[in-house]
Amino acid sequence: MAHKISSDCISCGSCESQCPVNAIVKGESIYTINAETCVDCGACVSACPVNAISSE
């Protein structure tokens, strides 16, 4: 199960640097997680300062 970034994202980039498989990329207004690449490790969840990442 991949994780998902909600619209609460503030585009700080904290999650992107923590992803071991580079599944997180900056979108137009928020970061997004590629579900095909995500290994569900949860590193991004604890890195997010606004709790915008959850399991799908």
Q: Are the C-beta atoms of residues 39 and 6 closer than 8 Å to each other?
A: no
What is the assigned CATH class of domain 3-55? alpha beta
Tokens of 5: 């970034």
Tokens of 54: 């959850």
What's the distance, CA 54 to chain centroid?
8
Q: pLDDT tens track of the chain, all 56 residues?
A: 789 999 999 999 999 999 999 999 999 999 999 999 999 999 999 999 999 999 87
Rg (CA), the chain: 10
Query: Domain residue spans in the chain?
Result: 3-55
What local confidence, expressed as pLDDT, does residue 1 receive? 74
